[in-house]
Amino acid sequence: MSDSKRERKLGLRLGEIAEAVGGDLRGSADLLITGAASVEDASIGDIVFGESDKYLRMADKSDASAVVAKKGSSCQKPAVLVDDVRLAFAKILELFAVEERRPPLGVDPSSRVGERFNLGEGSAVGFGCWIGDDVSIGRRSVIHPLVYIGDGVSIGDDCVIKPNVTVLYGCKIGDRVIIHPGAVIGSDGFGYVTGSSGALKIPHIGGVIIGDDVEIGACTAIDRAKTGFTQIGSGVKIDNLVHVAHNVKIGTNCLIAAQTGIAGSSQVGKNVMLAGQTGVKDHVRIGDGAVITADAGVIGDVPDGEMYSGYPARPHRQWLRSQAAIVRLEEALDEIKRLRQEVDSLKSLVERLDVR
């Protein structure tokens, strides 16, 4: 058993954890911590996340052995006190993460490798992979079982391509990229010309370029360009079940949540956040630093730094006012109904008086 695996099995001392995250220790440095857990599920030996007073109170009542809390917080448990609780807890989770099984170095005998294949030092290709001609894989990269890599693909250093990923011909992937199971890179874009004989498929002869430090979720599809490249900037993190259409350009350090669809030739700036189930129309631009909230439908350009919501997407405050107006409209309709009933009652009374 390796030293790292032995540490994970036996646990870490609280003092070691505090040192690893750059936090202040309160309590015994020798306290053994065997795992990290949520407050609700914690047991003896766990360290838990205590970002707010609510969670600190829950932690004090739990079986947890220690808590990560903000400097200046008050809690009864031994603690690691930090400036940024979320960042520290992410680092702690990494300390306790179980190392994923990886294939042995080199190419598994069951895999098919094409001509002029270049595998970097320290890299591995697992069971049952298909690798085309003129493929280059950098150093220390891992290609897990049952991956398809087409002709002319280049993959950088320190990448992890997980099982059942498809990377089609001519795509270029940077360094330190993680692609999760079932993702497809370089599928044909959705392009047809309609005429009297039906829909004629438009060939997509471009490719996909993915920058460094990108993570792509399971079952996500990134289509190749008609001509040129669909581009994913460095530092972009894409969730599961996302569709990026042909010729889309996504800037650096964007976060894109599940079930988002970005239509063809749209441009997403730098540091943009697209929440779950966002829909983006073709040929629009979302500016740098913009935030699009969940379920929004973007049908026009979004300025830099703006938050947009709703369908059609519009400035968030404007959307909030419209939502409030809908509630007031329902109240107004109820009031109109009540007034109508009163008018009908008065009409009935007047009719009876006229009869007399």
pLDDT at 324: 84
Give the right CATH number for 3-96 from 3.40.640.10, 3.40.1390.10, 3.40.50.170, 2.40.10.120. 3.40.1390.10
Q: Decide: 112 and 125 in contact? Cβ < 8 Å.
A: no
Direct distance between the N- and C-terminal alpha carbons of the chain, in angstroms, rounded to an integer: 104
Q: Please report the pLDDT score of residue 344 as a whole number.
A: 79
In this model, does residue 355 exceed pLDDT 70? no
Report domain extents, the chain: 3-96, 165-312, 324-356
Can you give the pTM of this predicted structure?
0.84
Look at the block and give the residue holding tokens 């300025």.
303
Rounded Cα distance between 141 and 131, Å, is 14
Q: State pLDDT tens for residues 310-349.
A: 999 999 898 888 888 888 888 888 888 888 888 878 888 7
CA distance 116 to 143: 18
Provide the pLDDT confidence category of residue 238 given band limits of 50, 70 and 90. very high
Position 2 pLDDT exceeds 60:
no
Q: How far is CA 38 from CA 59, 97, 109, 195, in A?
A: 9, 15, 43, 58
Under DSSP, the state recorded for 120 is -
Going by C-alpha positions, the residue among 318, 336, 340 that lies closest to residue 328 is: 336
Task: Pull the structure tokens for residue 74.
Answer: 């008050």
Percent pLDDT > 70 in the chain is: 96
Tell me the C-alpha to C-alpha distance, in Å, between residue 179 and each of 97, 133, 175, 206. Answer: 18, 21, 12, 21
Supply the residues annotated as catalytic.
246
Kindly report, residue by residue over 191-203, the tens digit of the pLDDT: 999 988 899 999 9
Q: Which amino acid, residue 178? A: I
pLDDT above 90 covers a percentage of the chain that reads 76
DSSP letter at 193 equals E
Q: How confident is the model at residue 6 (pLDDT cuts 50, 70, 90)?
A: very low
Mean pLDDT computed over every residue of the chain: 92
Is 50 exceeded by the pLDDT of residue 7? no
Please name the helix (run of DSSP H) or strand (run of DSSP E) that holds residue 4, with its range, or none: helix 3-10
* 351 pLDDT higher than 50: yes
* Tally of CB atoms within 10 A around 225: 23
pLDDT of residue 3: 42
Give strand pairing partners of 332.
Answer: none
How far from 97 is each of 18, 49, 186, 278, 299, CA to CA, in Å?
17, 16, 31, 31, 41
Please report which confidence band the pLDDT of residue 1 belongs to, taking 50, 70 and 90 as the band edges: very low
Q: What is the pLDDT of residue 356?
A: 60
Phi-psi region of 278 (alpha: psi -120 to 50; beta: other; left: phi over 0): beta
SS3 239: coil
Alpha-carbon distances of 131 from 127, 138, 181, rounded to whole Å: 12, 14, 17
**Alpha carbon distance 143, 149 (integer Å):** 10
- Who has greater pLDDT, 178 or 324? 178
- Mean pLDDT score, 68-75: 89
Helices (H) and strands (E) in the chain, counts: 5, 40
Report the sign of the C-alpha dihedral through residues 348, 350, 351, 356, in that order.
positive
Give the CATH fold of the 165-312 domain.
Answer: UDP N-Acetylglucosamine Acyltransferase; domain 1 (2.160.10)
Tell me the average pLDDT across 127-149.
98
Confidence check: pLDDT of 99 > 50: yes
- Kindly provide the b/e burial profile for residues 190-210, where b requires at least 16 CB atoms within 10 angstroms of the residue's own CB: ebeeeeeeeeeeeebebbbbb
Question: What pLDDT shows up at residue 335?
Answer: 83
* 3 state DSSP class of 130: strand
